[in-house]
Amino acid sequence: MSDIGKVAIERDRVYSRHGWTFQERGAGDLAVLWGQNANTQPLFFWLIAYVYSTPGLLARLRTEIAPYCTLSDSTPLEINSMNLPGLFANCPLLKASILETYRTANEATSICYVARPVTIDDGAAPLVYPEPDQFLPDRFLKTDAESGKTVPRYGKLRSWGTGAAMCKGQTFAEREIMVLGAAIISLWDISPASGTWKIPAMIPGTGVKKPLTEMRVMITKRVPP
């Protein structure tokens, strides 16, 4: 059992405590694996692609993340510790970048019945999102009326659905992407192999759109700041 991850062991304890059969355990684990591979990983690809290819965004995010992601003084860089509550509460640009990625790459799987004809502009209506073809995370940043702080707001974005059909794992998925994003942004430099950034065209996927073509990049360890 020494080579089995803590998450798997803890899940087994929960299953045993509640008397789940092996068939029920399989169904529960399959749902988690589907969610991880259908949503989180593809969305994370688009987030990293946009963050590194959008001029000036990477530097802004590194500055925002730095107080909550303590790096080593060694080469190569390593993460010594990460203040997760601080990251979740005080990194509005990082969350806004995730919201903008939702807007551009979300491919919701609907289980609702459409009662009448409806036209959906694929998150690209200029009246709702000015310059819809541009990656502009600042569009989701607002000033809180009470605190005066800059905060991320979903606004009209409904990436997780609405009502009873709203995704129940949205907070977990969002925070998972924030942590992974902060780690990659803090430790790695990524540049286009061709010398020029080109975001691939998107095709329909399950939960998140897929790239039509491969995206070749060069990944190197970040030099200590």
pLDDT tens string 82-115: 999 999 999 999 999 999 999 999 876 666 677 8
167 annotated as belonging to a binding site for a ligand = yes
The residues facing 81 across adjacent strands are: 70
Determine the pLDDT at residue 72: 92
Residue pLDDT, tens place only, 112-144: 677 888 777 666 788 888 999 999 999 999 999
Residue pLDDT, tens place only, 63-78: 999 999 999 988 888 9
Determine the pLDDT at residue 31: 81
Structural domain boundaries in the chain: 6-221
Would you state the structure tokens that stand for residue 43, as one six-digit string? 């969305």
Spatial contact of 17 and 30, defined as CB atoms under 8 Å apart: no
Spatial contact of 183 and 190, defined as CB atoms under 8 Å apart: no
Determine the pLDDT at residue 33: 82
Determine the pLDDT at residue 16: 95
For residues 42-55, average pLDDT: 96
Residue pLDDT, tens place only, 2-46: 788 888 899 999 999 999 999 999 998 888 787 777 778 889 999
Spatial contact of 43 and 101, defined as CB atoms under 8 Å apart: yes
Residue pLDDT, tens place only, 154-183: 888 877 766 666 676 778 888 989 999 999
| Beta strand spans in the chain (E) | 69-71, 79-82, 106-107, 141-143, 150-152, 188-192, 202-203, 207-208, 210-211, 217-221
What's the pLDDT band for 81 if we cut at 50, 70, 90?
A: very high
Burial 134-156 (b: 16+ CB within 10 A, else e): ebbbebbbeeeeeeeeebbbeee
**pLDDT surpassing 70 at residue 212:** yes
* CATH 3.40.190.10 is held by the domain 6-221: no
- Tell me how far apart the alpha carbons of residues 124 and 120 are, in angstroms, rounded to a whole number: 9
**pLDDT surpassing 90 at residue 223:** no
Determine the pLDDT at residue 75: 83
